[in-house]
Amino acid sequence: MEKIRVTDLTKRYGRVLAVDSASFSIQENEFFSLLGPSGCGKSTVLRCVAGLEEPTAGTIYIGETLVNSTSEGVNVPTEQRPIGMVFQNYAVWPHMTVAENVAYPLKLKKMARAQIRKKLEVALHAVGLGRFADRYPSQLSGGEQQRVAVARALIKEPEILLLDEPLSNLDAKLREQMRFELKDLQKRMGIPILYVTHDQTEAIAMSDRVAVMKDGRILQIGNPLDVYENPANEFIADFIGLMNFLQCKVLSRQDHKVELELHSTGERLSISDAGVIEGEALLAVRPENLALDKELGVSCAVRARIFLGNMVEYKVSVGDELLRVQATTEQDYKEGEKLFLRVKKGTLFRRNSPESIA
Q: What is the tens place of the pLDDT at every residue in 92-124?
A: 888 999 999 999 988 888 889 899 999 899 888
- 249 has pLDDT over 70: yes
- By CB atoms closer than 10 A (0-12, 13-18, 19+), residue 158 is middle
Per-residue pLDDT, averaged over 148-172, amounts to 87
- 353 has pLDDT over 60: no
How far is the C-alpha of 78 from the C-alpha of 96, rounded, in Å?
24
Which pLDDT band, with edges at 50, 70 and 90, does 273 fall under? confident
Per-residue pLDDT, averaged over 277-294, amounts to 93
The CA-based diameter of the chain, rounded to the nearest angstrom, is 77
* Side-by-side strand order, sheet with 83-86: 83-86, 160-164, 193-197, 31-35, 209-214, 217-222
209 membership: H or E segment, kind and range = strand 209-214
Per-residue pLDDT, averaged over 341-357, amounts to 76
Beta strands 209-214 and 338-343 are unpaired
| CA-closest candidate to residue 248, choices 274, 221, 213, 285 | 285
Per-residue pLDDT, averaged over 310-321, amounts to 93
The three-class DSSP label of residue 88 is coil
Q: Tell me, what's the pLDDT at 243?
A: 94
| Most trustworthy range by pLDDT among 64-73, 82-91, 326-335 | 64-73
- 342 has pLDDT over 90: yes
- 349 has pLDDT over 90: yes
Q: Tell me, what's the pLDDT at 358?
A: 35
Residues 146 and 89: beta-carbon distance below 8 Å:
no
- 292 has pLDDT over 60: yes
Residue predicted with more confidence, 169 or 306: 306
26 Cβ partners below 8 Å, 6+ apart?
Answer: 2, 3, 4, 5, 32, 160, 192, 194
Per-residue pLDDT, averaged over 1-6, amounts to 93
Q: Say what percent of the chain tops pLDDT 70.
A: 98
Instruction: Show the domains of the chain with their CATH numbers.
Output: 2-234 (3.40.50.300), 242-350 (2.40.50.140)
How far is the C-alpha of 356 from the C-alpha of 348, rounded, in Å?
14
CA 26 to chain centre: 15
- 91 has pLDDT over 50: yes
Q: Tell me, what's the pLDDT at 352?
A: 63
- 357 has pLDDT over 50: no
